[in-house]
Amino acid sequence: MRSITTPPSTPASPFHASFGGDEVVDAPRRSALRGLRLRALLAGSLLAATLAAGPVAAGPVAARDLIVRTEAGSVKVTEVASGLQNPWSLAFLPDGRMLVTERPGTLRIVGTDGEVSAPIAGVPEVHARGQGGLLDVALSPSFATDGLIVFSYAEPTAKGARTAVARARLDADGLRLEDVRRIFAQNEDPSGSHHWGSRLAFARDGTLFITLGDRFHQRERAQALDSHLGKVVRIALDGSVPADNPLVGHAGTLPEIWSWGHRNVQGAALHPQTGELWTHEHGPQGGDEINRTRAGLDYGWPEVTYGREYVTGRKIGEGETRAGVEPPVLQFTPSIAPSGMAFYTGDVFPQWKGNLFVGALKFQLLARLVLDGERVVHEERILTELGRRIRDVRQGPDGHLWLVDETEGRILRLDPA
């Protein structure tokens, strides 16, 4: 297991310090921060392009685009769509358009020309408080024939709220969700508005992995096998439990559980060679983890962690390792607040083929991780010039990397410069 330790950056707000960057900044503070960052970006864009890209940037860089230097050469960050409100995730439709979730509860289609549709009707009510709301979205592996999509959201209940997942059909005109049916909901619904997890990933056999947060104040339940809090679960598209799940037939456990001991998993992707599920999760102060998320394994939280308590700085649990706990592939200290993850397999950036990309909220960057088998052997941090919270990372059908810029409400594409 490799550790990455970097000098801590100054938090943008007290909320960053309290929640490791995975928080919702209040509107006035967000507006002020946005204005400062935008002015800095506009003032420095020409200088950054000239110094970083050399002859590639012969004239001023448009405010909507930015050219940055990477170890693989200069890359242009192209704004494809804007005007979104707290975008959280995207999924590509077969014709190249994108489904985009907005955390307050709206699902939209972004056209290949960047045009943003009106809200799609039929989305269930969401608990749009704190980090909750409408979250991830994915297409069924058989979308071409069944037309199904799945999406996760914070579902309000009489007691509080819980992470839930629904499936639906997108009508032919892309205006409405039809046959909406909830296929999963956490069995506990505490109060509070943090740590929903909520990434979705389809396995090669068509089953669905769902990541579930510990809901922050319920962290001890991440070790309880009769609870969905702090777990990764695996279900079929109809909501049933696959017979080969690791806890099927074990008394006192929930058979849909795949792994446990997680804190707040906001990245999930299949390894392109092995087909194995990889995830990443937020640590408290330090200890963000990237994991090979295997069936029936304990990932330690909150008994084993590299992180520390927010207020006191004291160690959490028993230490950083323990027999019977699966160690992370990589841990970040201090926390970068990871969100979104994708293995790159395209041809647009051949030097990046096989690399793992992770978005960061607190450090506002894109981490490129070079793998040797299942080991991380090198990290490059790019897009620091952008200064935006990267909420999601996807490889598009065109072989480009696509990003969800939560700070400015944009969809971005990386192009060779």
Query: Which has the closest alpha carbon to 233: 255, 256, 215?
Result: 256
Q: Report the Cα 342 to chain-centroid distance in Å.
A: 9
In sign, the C-alpha dihedral spanning 296, 299, 303, 304 is positive
Given a cut of 70, whether residue 47 has pLDDT beyond it is no
In a domain, 384, yes or no: yes
| pLDDT-above-70 percentage for the chain | 85
Q: What is the pLDDT of residues 175-187, one digit of tens each?
A: 999 999 999 999 9
In a domain, 154, yes or no: no
In a domain, 304, yes or no: no
Q: H or E stretch including 211?
A: strand 208-212
In a domain, 355, yes or no: yes
Model pLDDT, residue 319: 92
Q: How confident is the model at residue 53 (pLDDT cuts 50, 70, 90)?
A: very low
Question: How many Cβ atoms sit within 10 Å of the Cβ of residue 217?
Answer: 12
Q: Token digits for 120?
A: 């799609």
Q: What is the pLDDT of residues 65-104, one digit of tens each?
A: 899 999 999 999 999 999 999 999 999 999 999 999 999 9
Given a cut of 50, whether residue 49 has pLDDT beyond it is no
In a domain, 34, yes or no: yes
In a domain, 294, yes or no: no
User: How many Cα atoms within 13 Å fall on the side-chain side of residue 183?
Assistant: 26
Query: Which has the closest alpha carbon to 263: 234, 232, 226, 294?
Result: 232
Q: What is the pLDDT of residues 233-242, one digit of tens each?
A: 999 999 999 9
Q: What is the pLDDT of residues 267-326, one digit of tens each?
A: 999 999 999 999 999 999 999 999 999 999 999 999 999 999 999 999 999 999 999 999
Q: What is the pLDDT of residues 95-151, one digit of tens each?
A: 999 999 999 999 999 999 999 999 999 999 999 999 999 999 999 999 999 999 999
Q: What is the pLDDT of residues 365-392, one digit of tens each?
A: 999 999 999 999 999 999 999 999 999 9
Q: What is the pLDDT of residues 208-262, one digit of tens each?
A: 999 999 999 999 999 999 999 999 999 999 999 999 999 999 999 999 999 999 9
Question: How many Cβ atoms sit within 10 Å of the Cβ of residue 111?
Answer: 15
Quote the number of domains for the chain.
1
Model pLDDT, residue 22: 53
Q: Token digits for 183?
A: 């296929």
Domain that includes residue 58, residue range:
25-80+344-417
Distance CA 91, CA 40 (A): 31
Distance CA 189, CA 331 (A): 29
Question: How many Cβ atoms sit within 10 Å of the Cβ of residue 371?
Answer: 18
Model pLDDT, residue 102: 98
Which amino acid type is present at position 193? S
Given a cut of 50, whether residue 59 has pLDDT beyond it is no
Model pLDDT, residue 198: 96
Q: Token digits for 241?
A: 């439990």
Model pLDDT, residue 5: 56
CB 358 within 8 Å of CB 332: no
What is the chain's alpha carbon radius of gyration, rounded to the nearest angstrom?
20
28-32: Cβ within 8 A, 24+ apart: 30/407
Q: H or E stretch including 105?
A: none
Lowest-pLDDT range, 41-45, 52-56, 158-162, 203-207? 52-56
Model pLDDT, residue 172: 87
Kindly provide the b/e burial profile for residues 147-177, where b requires at least 16 CB atoms within 10 angstroms of the residue's own CB.
bbbbbbbbbbeeebbbbbbbbbbbeeeeeeb
In a domain, 359, yes or no: yes
Angle subtended at Cα 114 by Cα 63 and Cα 394, rounded to the nearest 5 degrees: 90
Q: How confident is the model at residue 331 (pLDDT cuts 50, 70, 90)?
A: very high
pTM for the predicted model, two decimal places? 0.88
195 is known as an active-site residue: yes
Peptide bond into 14 cis (omega under 30): no
Look up tokens 């089953």; give the residue: 207
Model pLDDT, residue 174: 87
Given a cut of 90, whether residue 165 has pLDDT beyond it is yes
Beta partners for 257? 233
Catalytic residue among 16, 195, 228, 400: 195
In a domain, 184, yes or no: no
Distance CA 390, CA 91 (A): 16
Model pLDDT, residue 150: 98
Given a cut of 80, whether residue 408 has pLDDT beyond it is yes
